Structure 1
Amino acid sequence: MTAELIQATLETLQMVVASTVLSAIVGLPVGVLLVLSARGGLRPAPVLNRILGLIVNLGRSLPFIILMIAVIPFTRLLVGTTIGSAAAIVPLTIGAIPFLARLVESAVSDVDPGLVEAAQAMGARTGQIVGKVLLPESRPALVRALTVTFVTLIGYSAMAGAVGGGGLGDLAIRYGYQLFQTNVMVVTVVLLVVVVQVFQLLGDRIARRLDRR
């Protein structure tokens, strides 16, 4: 089953990489906005902060398998189908956005307030502080946040196989569970562990290189 395993691994990587990128495009601004709009932030907006926080918390509290089923109409509207790796990217992205947003919020909040105050004293605007201080100073933590999100999405992608999402999860369910081929189940688990370890090590190395402390 070498060909099937290779194809399933590529599908898993396709789903996870695409979902990580898409969730970063949305989750990063949401996380920064949560910091800016918080009480004591650069642009305090309590109402907006509470609304965003509520949406993020609701998204994080919803089990992924339920989310995946709940967004089936939206998935069909976007990609025209609800099965396959392309369709799985939609719920994976939706599920990862609130998760990543909280990690980004935590990373940006940890930036030394003295650096922000120094930038304000020099007359920097909010956008300049975000682009020149908050994001650069939190790069190591942001890389770690993306790494954690990537690893989490690998687990989500395995669950997506339960509803025809493709990838290693689908292969493990069809052959390892339904056809009782334990060897296939073991190989898929090993492949998932290898993928997780490779990207975790890569993310940790990049974060260490960016850390100037």
Structure 2
Amino acid sequence: IPVIYGDAAHPVVLKAAAVARAHLALVTTPAMKTTQSIAQQIRTLNPELHIVARAEAIEQLEVLHDIGVYEVVQPEFEAGLEIARQALLHLDLPAPEVQRYTDAVRQDLYAPIYQMHSEYAEVHALEQARRLLEFTWVTLPEGSPLAGCSLGEAQIRSHTGATVVAIMRRGALVSNPGTAEILRAGDVLAVLGNHGELEGFTTLARPASGAGDV
């Protein structure tokens, strides 16, 4: 990887780095004035380039966005949020609930920017949707009414909205299983869906007696 040493606020350095042909610029300096200067020079050389920059305070978010920064990251805030997320997961809170909590905290922080710049809110909404649809692994318990059924017979999607995208069975992974695939107790299923859909699948897979742990 080519490395160029110099002050990125100077056009000659940015030209040497071929910013005009770049697809993305990451500005990680903690100094706000330096970040502004670099972003403005990048905009001059490549008006369409996406810039991701670091900010130290909430009031800097709007300033950076107004000069054309595509996304702003606050390292201390994100680190604190990740620590909180890991703590909640360690306490066995459901992953979808933890994700909703962290999204709500992030939404509160960036709310002023979202209200003033609709495109910023759209980027966040797309990212949030992607996170909410990440799959979770669920073990099919003994006595589950789904055990012995094919995926087609189980009609999981029509009953819950969730989708089984993979099956781990005795150490072997079956990706994108077909409707003829038979489910067995002990299978570990990769299930894709939002919080309500995943809860619906858990209820559907639970043994009728209430015994078993999904």
TM-score, with normalisation over the residues of structure 1?
0.27
TM-score, with normalisation over the residues of structure 2?
0.27
More strand by share: 2
Larger radius of gyration: 2
Higher relative contact order (CA 8 A, sep 6+): 1
